[in-house]
Amino acid sequence: MNHNYLQPNPPQKVNDEQAVYDYLLDLVQAAEGERVLEIIGEIFLAGQGSSGGQVSVHLEKVIKVKYNQEDFNYFFNRCCYILINYWQLSPQTQRTIPQLVKMLENGVANISANGNARGNIRQLIKNFTLSEQFVRLKRLGTVIAAKFETKSTSVGTLIHRYPYLYDYCLMGDDSSREHRQTVHRIKAQNERKFEINLSQYVTYRVRLARVNKSSLILPDQELITPVKNPTLLSDRDLNSSLKHFVGSVENGQSYQSLSKSFRNHVAYTQSFGAFKDELYEYIRGSLQDKYRHGSFNKKLFDLFQNAYPECNQQKPTEFLMMRTSSQLLNFLVVEGSKNPDHYVFIDLISNIGVKRTVGVLLKIVLFCSKVKPYLEKRFSILFNHYESVAREGVPWLVRTLENMQIAFSIHFGRVDLSSLHRSKLVT
């Protein structure tokens, strides 16, 4: 079959990679999603590349140069995201994205892994499906597919619910411009959607509370339309979390006012050593009395004692405060993907609960907002670690992810929940 479906008119001496990119862009803009998948399957997966017209000539030249798997992965990942970037713009074509992922995986399912890839496009694609790029591509497919499916079993299928994980679960250092554009667009859309849904839910609950308090009987046309809980928490747990992250938590102060007071205070701190002492007390303020004097407290104290002791007499710089806050997040959540132990985190949750644990982390990023991406990466590591586990097997993780989403939306999003200060939500 000839695949000169829409051949671009390149200059005489065209770059072969760019010619393939241009072809795919023209194709996806002109053809229906199913037809695009059919053509992609024939060119890349069915071994018909040699009879595929001018684009196949360019493709053959590319794979002769890019038989190095790492180079090919970058090239093919970008090919995929040229298509995805366009499909993502319209709800009518978004379904094609998970179909593309499934087609790629199934199309090379019978090929052995890590075979001789030199000049073999199908072997190169098979190896691509075993790469970290494809893992991120599959996660993106899961995010999109969640709009059309209701079944959700493993932790990995929940990723669409947590936009704060997207930068690290759906992208990597080698991600192309098209890849990043797609993820950032989806992230912004899903963040805004959750904020709107949360705001509508709170408005509904506040109105319901006011009606119940005044014992009003509303005429039928004024009945309050129910709004669905936008989280995986029960209504009671969600209402409790909302009050916790908006209201007073320590000495009559909210998380926002606590962090502001601490930030203003440390601005006058004379030494880095004194700053560490103050940060230590700032964190301990969120702990219950019985937990302030156990092994956790000693580990926390030692962490600060061992953090850049050679700088103790210096004035605390932004860099030192960021590095210390980053080390603190390592200690509280998880060190890294190579060492995914998170016993301290589970111990915290077991002793002070999910809300207060998330509150401790929130205090850190509200004080030092530049480490928020670092906290998001810690949670991405946890998510990746439990990705294939049934969500029923790690309820603490799901509750934590949900509470983190709520906390981020309240303190870093655009949702206004100030009415909660004046109302008692109906549970």
DSSP 371: G
CA distance 218 to 223: 6
**pLDDT of 12 above 80:** no
CA distance 317 to 315: 6
Neighbouring residues of 147: CB distance < 8 A, sequence distance ≥ 6: 91, 94, 160
Structure tokens of 342? 């998170």
Between 399 and 63, name the one with better pLDDT: 399
Confidence band for 51, pLDDT divided at 50, 70 and 90: very low
Query: Computed from CA positions of residues 319, 322, 328, 333, in that sequence, does the dihedral angle turn out positive or negative?
Result: negative
Question: Helices in 146-289 by DSSP H: which ranges?
Answer: 166-169, 177-214, 235-246, 255-266, 272-284
Element (H, E) at 7: none
CA distance 215 to 210: 8
Element (H, E) at 8: none
DSSP 45: I
CA distance 199 to 193: 10
pTM of the model: 0.86
CA distance 64 to 264: 60
What angle, 0 to 180 degrees and rounded to 10, lies between the N-to-C axes of helices 272-284 and 255-266?
160
Q: Please compute, for residue 325, the number of CA atoms within 13 A of its CA located in the half-sphere on the CB side.
A: 25
* pLDDT score at 366: 98
* pLDDT score at 150: 62
> Please, what is the Cα angle at 361 between 360 and 363, to 5 degrees?
65
* pLDDT score at 143: 94
Nearest residue to 407 via CA among 330, 355, 346: 355
Nearest residue to 52 via CA among 64, 65, 39: 39
Least confident of 113-127, 128-142, 317-331: 113-127
* pLDDT score at 181: 92
* pLDDT score at 3: 53
Distances (CA, A) of 391 to 64, 154, 161, 233, 333: 44, 5, 13, 13, 19
* pLDDT score at 171: 95
Tens of pLDDT along 78-110?
Answer: 999 999 999 988 888 999 999 999 999 999 888
Greatest alpha-carbon pair distance for the chain in Å reads: 80
| DSSP code string of 275-286 | HHHHHHHHHHTT
Cβ–Cβ < 8 Å for 43, 7: no
- Across the chain, mean pLDDT equals 88
Structure tokens of 296? 């956790």
Mean pLDDT, residues 357-377: 97
For residue 121, the SS3 value is helix
Tens of pLDDT along 171-230?
Answer: 999 898 889 999 999 999 999 999 999 999 998 888 888 777 665 555 544 577 899 999
Spell out a b/e string for 239-252, using b for 16 or more CB atoms within 10 Å of the CB, else e. bbbbbbbbeebeee
Highest mean pLDDT among 126-140, 150-164, 218-232: 126-140
Tens of pLDDT along 318-327?
Answer: 999 999 999 9
